[in-house]
């Protein structure tokens, strides 16, 4: 039986450079990081990050429900609203039983748990929130979207560390393919810019330490790359079977052509130095899409700006795509949005397909000698892109790759 094509009919984003999809795209194409000192982190070894600013989240969420939502939940709900509106859908009119919600996160409510723990220890039970438990549950983004969107179909919250976003999109695509739903609201969200998490990343050796302007510290694929800079945000897509989208007159932004996933089974934080298992995820995605490697026009790299990840991924790109397609790495601008990163980067890949523009890698003049990959630097590059892949590699060796194509 022929598998139905799955269309991206709606896209919503909230990131450190924009509160919408369009403003995020403009910010990423500008190639300038907003990393700055965060007052709540003063005194920490790492006191800077790329954060979402300039928006009152409670006001944006509206109503009297924001009090029960963690920051990461609010991000997801706002991105979902934009995505559903972008798809031209009205939750008041759809069959909610046929709408699924699949929203991943990595650390999810860890900030809320820490906040409530501190309140309890310092001031006692009366100082904690009656909704404290809701601030900690990783499935609350999916739950709040389902509540707000009248979606009574399956609701899932995948967690595969920093590849959670691509995992969520892949699961949603499979559900549509199997006929478990007719519409899927899918993506990921994250907000862990708080002292415990930032200290943990600093102690692990993964985080860049302050050395001049924080906005210049995330340098994916640079010879002097020094570690990741934390980010936060969310990206949500509306997925439908392409035939269903056409039947209602919707114009897809892109199609999900394939997906692949593997696990290094090597180390909790370090990628396998050979990159072979991650490469198998690329091969699986290409095989699923029915593409030859040389048909890939663009690679959106995981590109964390850490020494091991970038070296391993650069070698993987060189082996997997010997024709040297243009490569970008959005974390140079956005920071590492952890569990949300894969969904955000998949969303940016959709926009590259639409606009025929590959954004530059921030803070990179040229890749480390010997990497031999075609990194886009300095300015956006206009190039025809019909087929593209986005890589996501998470702690625990969890590799996820998604293949996207123009409709």
- Given 50, 159, 162, 375, which residue is catalytic? 162
State yes or no: is 162 an active-site residue.
yes
Angle, nearest 10°, between helix axes 307-320 and 276-289? 40
Angle, nearest 10°, between helix axes 195-204 and 110-123? 120
Residues written for the chain: 407
State yes or no: is 19 an active-site residue.
no
Residue partners of 123: CB distance under 8 A and separation at least 6: none
Residue partners of 354: CB distance under 8 A and separation at least 6: 253, 254, 406
How many Å separate Cα 17 from the centre of its chain? 14
Phi, psi of 357 (to 5 degrees): -135, 130
The one-character DSSP state at 10 is: E
Residue partners of 236: CB distance under 8 A and separation at least 6: 11, 12, 13, 76, 79, 80, 82, 83, 103, 145, 185, 186, 187, 189, 343
- Given 298, 336, 375, 391, which residue is catalytic? 336
Which candidate, 72, 195, 76, 186, places its Cα nearest to that of 136?
72
- Given 272, 298, 302, 391, which residue is catalytic? 302
State yes or no: is 355 an active-site residue.
no
Q: How far apart are CA 206 and CA 203, in angstroms?
A: 8
Which candidate, 363, 12, 340, 2, places its Cα nearest to that of 189?
340
Catalytic residue IDs? 162, 302, 336
């Amino acid at each position: 039986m022929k598998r139905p094509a799955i269309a991206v009919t709606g896209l919503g984003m909230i990131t450190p450079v924009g509160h919408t999809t369009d403003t995020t795209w403009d910010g990423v194409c500008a190639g300038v990081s907003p990393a700055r000192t965060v007052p709540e982190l003063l005194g920490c070894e790492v006191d800077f990050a790329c954060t979402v600013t300039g928006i009152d989240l409670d006001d944006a969420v509206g109503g009297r429900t924001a009090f029960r939502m963690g920051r990461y939940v609010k991000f997801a709900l706002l991105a979902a609203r934009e995505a559903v509106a972008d798809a031209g859908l009205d939750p008041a009119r759809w069959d909610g039983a046929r709408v699924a919600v699949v929203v991943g996160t990595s650390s999810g409510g860890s900030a809320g748990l820490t906040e409530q723990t501190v309140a309890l220890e310092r001031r006692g039970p009366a100082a904690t929130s009656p909704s404290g438990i809701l601030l900690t549950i990783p499935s609350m983004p999916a739950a709040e979207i389902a509540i707000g969107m009248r979606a009574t179909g399956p609701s899932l919250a995948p967690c595969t560390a920093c590849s959670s976003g691509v995992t969520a999109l892949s699961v949603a695509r499979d559900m549509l393919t199997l006929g478990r739903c007719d519409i899927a609201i899918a993506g990921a969200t994250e907000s862990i810019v708080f002292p415990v998490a930032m200290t943990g990343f600093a102690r692990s050796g993964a985080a860049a330490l302050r050395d001049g302007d924080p906005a210049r510290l995330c340098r994916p694929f640079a010879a002097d790359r020094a570690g990741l800079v934390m980010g936060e945000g969310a990206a949500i897509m509306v997925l439908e079977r392409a035939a269903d989208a056409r039947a209602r007159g919707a114009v897809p932004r892109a199609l999900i052509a394939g997906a692949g996933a593997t696990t290094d089974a090597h180390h909790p934080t370090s990628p396998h130095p050979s990159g072979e298992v991650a490469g198998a995820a690329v091969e699986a995605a290409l095989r699923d899409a029915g593409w030859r490697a040389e048909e890939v026009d663009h690679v959106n790299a995981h590109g964390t700006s850490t020494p091991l990840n970038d070296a391993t991924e650069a070698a993987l790109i060189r082996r997997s795509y010997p024709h040297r397609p243009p490569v970008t790495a959005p974390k140079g601008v956005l920071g590492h949005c952890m569990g949300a990163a894969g969904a955000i980067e998949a969303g940016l890949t959709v926009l590259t397909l639409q606009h025929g523009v590959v954004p530059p890698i921030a803070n990179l003049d040229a890749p480390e000698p010997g990497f031999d990959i075609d990194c886009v630097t300095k300015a956006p590059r206009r190039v025809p892109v019909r087929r593209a892949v986005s890589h996501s590699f998470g702690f625990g060796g969890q590799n996820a790759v998604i293949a996207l194509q123009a409709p």
